[in-house]
Structure 1
Amino acid sequence: MKAWLRSVNESIKPKFMPGGAQAKWFPIYDAIENFIFSSTHKTTNPIHVRDSIDIQRIMVIVWLAAFPAMFFGMYNIGNQTLEYLTLVGSANTNDWHHVLINLVGYTNDSFISKMWIGAVYFVPIYAVTFAVGILWEILFAVVRKHEINEGLFVSSILFALSCPPDLPLWQAAMGITFGIVIGKEVFGGTGKNFLNPALTGRAFLYFAYPSQLSGDKVWIAGLSDTGITPEGFSGATPLGYAAEGGLQGLTDNFSWLDAFLGNIPG
């Protein structure tokens, strides 16, 4: 199968090379080729360190490294949302997310339900972020006639993870657009920018739409729909318990698992 794919690739490759009929689309072809196949360029000079790592693999590894945070974030969105719905005695928050959620249904104490609710909120934001970001990357790669850089994998997931769950999708598109275009491409692209595209886009949204990016309602999905404001938390911090009762005082109030998962305040 791999040999057949390689032969098909080699047969169409001349069309995308300089002078070929589809030469202007070479960046897109190159991105697909690099995604499917490993590089054929190998180091032969003995003074170089030989390794299979290249920028594509590095970016993909960093992208995959963000997955645990992504999955926990989805779980936490679902966990907080179901706790909120139980508190207000509501079956849903009357927005389009719950049209999708109700297609599968949910129960308040189900891990799968919490993951599903979190995915319904997070995945659309990430999908829009990635789609808009890759369009800008392709556009600049075609115009400048260079390869599409895999850094978008990292920028897109970091940007999406930094956004609140109720973020309108058009704002996600605007944010990543600002981050890619103003934060990176205007300086010449990857390696020439001094701003982080993901954080640049996030900062743009924060200052452009502060009421929807900060405050006491944006981090629990659906909280803004009913006008209920969560009460603040007041109490001793884990260090306070430890100072009063030592390790025993700490473990009497919190478990190590709670500390690891981030389910405790302070």
Structure 2
Amino acid sequence: MDKIKPAFSKGGKLGFLESTFDAFETFLFVPNTTTTRGAHIRDANDMKRTMIVVVVALLPALLFGFYNTGYQHFLSQGVPPEFWASLWFGFLKVLPIIVVSYAVGLGIEFAFAQMRGHEVNEGFLVSGLLIPMIMPVDIPLWMVALATAFAVVFGKEVFGGTGMNVFNPALVARAFAFFAYTPMMSGETVWIAGLTDGTGVVDGFSGATALEQLGTTGTMSYSALDAFLGFIPGSIGETSTLAILIGAAILLFTGVASWRTMVSVFAGGLAMGYLFEAIGLTTYPAWYHLIVGGFAFGAVFMATDPVTSAQTDKGKYIVGFLTGALAVLIRVVNPAYPEGMMLSILFMNALAPLVDYYVVEANISRRKKRVKLAK
């Protein structure tokens, strides 16, 4: 890398590709630049390493997503699901979605960096994996490409790139796909590979998610244990609460994610769930909300996004609690839209700066009062 670096530096033969070269070099090695002003703490981490920790935390849910994709497919065909066959089938089915997401997203990121002469933003290392994991397995690849492009351009770059975006880019991609192509993002056929054509499905098999069943009938045909472990239809990476909690442990142990936001989301969801259960609007246990749909995945990997979430400690409690409560509110009050986590997080992304503002203003007001009392 050191030998070829002069060619990619300003004035070199390939100097116009300086941003691209820098992206690969800093991905492989620690950047050779340091902060020159302002208060800061030096350690071994940079933004790319932080993003890689998040990718590692996503792997348990992704690997189970591979397996569950094959498991649900063979189950729908009336074939006993074998572990390795299911894992391999799911890997081959999901891999193209991941490749398209990264190819389109990184392609746009590199293009914007080259045009601006800036460094390539690191954030898409995570967003490129999050987008496939929150999509149905049978979503067309062209739709993934279009949703990813929309998320990167209108969800990030128009705001100035990573660190400046107001909304979580992965959720922007899902929202775009959902509202633009609703039939391919909802219903009983999109969650299981090979079910869209309706051929070869055993009699009586339904691809409805547990959340859809709860929203329409108030019960689900899956056991709570299956829902917790993830042996249910759903988005690729969202079905296994156990795998998601393993990822949460990694994020909390490394200090990458805020436990305040994460715990508050679960607390808010439980509180709203118990409220609806108490007044008789729901007949199923309130904690079902935590193990079905994208609630756990959103609480761990989306609501804790350090860019779009609250920055103050008290703000994290407030935004997290409201995120969980609003998600359950949407699920229960609007049966036509059973999955409320996406809208809840996007809504609270917009409100997070306002919450932080009033938290800071309240702190300033208290300090002024203390100063007056001291005088």
Shorter-chain TM range is: 0.7 to 0.9
Do the aligned partners of residues 231 and 151 (structure 1) sit closer, same or farther apart at CA in structure 2, a change above 3 Å counting? closer
Percent identity of equivalent pairs: 43
Aligned to 2:31: 39
Do the aligned partners of residues 259 and 172 (structure 1) sit closer, same or farther apart at CA in structure 2, a change above 3 Å counting? closer
- Once the two structures are superposed, the pairs formed by residues 117-128 of structure 1 within 5 Å of their partners are 117-128=89-100
Aligned to 1:96: none
- Once the two structures are superposed, the pairs formed by residues 87-102 of structure 1 within 5 Å of their partners are none
Do the aligned partners of residues 19 and 173 (structure 1) sit closer, same or farther apart at CA in structure 2, a change above 3 Å counting? same
SS in 1 for 2:179: helix
- Once the two structures are superposed, the pairs formed by residues 201-216 of structure 1 within 5 Å of their partners are 201-216=173-188
Aligned to 1:82: 74
> One-letter code of the match for 2:25?
E
| Stretches of structure 1 lacking an aligned partner (at least 5 in a row) | 1-8, 87-106, 238-252
Does residue 169 (structure 1) correspond to residue 141 (structure 2)? The answer is yes
SS in 1 for 2:4: helix
Aligned to 1:60: 52
- The Cα shift of 1:39 comes to 2.5
Aligned to 2:127: 155
1:261 to 229, 236, 243: 229
Do the aligned partners of residues 218 and 236 (structure 1) sit closer, same or farther apart at CA in structure 2, a change above 3 Å counting? closer
CA contact (8 A) 2:67 2:87 kept: yes
> One-letter code of the match for 2:41?
V
Do the aligned partners of residues 138 and 42 (structure 1) sit closer, same or farther apart at CA in structure 2, a change above 3 Å counting? closer
Do the aligned partners of residues 126 and 231 (structure 1) sit closer, same or farther apart at CA in structure 2, a change above 3 Å counting? closer
Distance in 1 between residues matched to 2:76 and 2:121, nearest whole Å: 41
CA contact (8 A) 1:216 1:230 kept: yes
> One-letter code of the match for 1:186?
V
Relative contact order, CA 8 A, sep 6+: which one is greater? Answer: 1
Map Cα deviations across residues 1-47 of structure 1 (whole Å, 9 max, x no partner): xxxxxxxx2222222222222221011100111122222346799x7
Does residue 114 (structure 1) correspond to residue 86 (structure 2)? The answer is yes
CA contact (8 A) 1:60 1:150 kept: no
> One-letter code of the match for 1:123?
L
Does residue 18 (structure 1) correspond to residue 10 (structure 2)? The answer is yes
CA contact (8 A) 1:56 1:150 kept: yes
- The Cα shift of 1:255 comes to 8.8
Distance in 2 between residues matched to 1:129 and 1:170, nearest whole Å: 10
Does residue 230 (structure 1) correspond to residue 222 (structure 2)? The answer is no
Map Cα deviations across residues 118-161 of structure 1 (whole Å, 9 max, x no partner): 11211111111111111101100000111112211110111100
TM-score calculated relative to the size of structure 2: 0.54
Distance in 2 between residues matched to 1:231 and 1:187, nearest whole Å: 39
| Stretches of structure 2 lacking an aligned partner (at least 5 in a row) | 233-283, 289-375
Distance in 2 between residues matched to 1:179 and 1:22, nearest whole Å: 30
Distance in 1 between residues matched to 2:88 and 2:141, nearest whole Å: 19
> One-letter code of the match for 2:175?
A
Distance in 2 between residues matched to 1:169 and 1:83, nearest whole Å: 24
- The Cα shift of 1:117 comes to 1.2
Do the aligned partners of residues 51 and 73 (structure 1) sit closer, same or farther apart at CA in structure 2, a change above 3 Å counting? same
Distance in 2 between residues matched to 1:157 and 1:119, nearest whole Å: 14
Corresponding pairs, count: 222
Aligned to 2:116: 144
CA contact (8 A) 2:70 2:81 kept: no
> One-letter code of the match for 1:12?
I
Larger radius of gyration: 1
> One-letter code of the match for 2:206?
P
Distance in 2 between residues matched to 1:34 and 1:119, nearest whole Å: 29
Distance in 2 between residues matched to 1:17 and 1:34, nearest whole Å: 14
TM-score calculated relative to the size of structure 1: 0.75
**C-alpha RMSD over aligned residues:** 2.8
Distance in 2 between residues matched to 1:223 and 1:212, nearest whole Å: 12
- The Cα shift of 1:261 comes to 1.1
Aligned to 1:98: none
2:155 to 167, 183, 186: 183
Distance in 1 between residues matched to 2:36 and 2:207, nearest whole Å: 65
Distance in 1 between residues matched to 2:132 and 2:223, nearest whole Å: 31
* Greater Cα shift, 17-26 or 61-70: 17-26
> One-letter code of the match for 2:115?
V
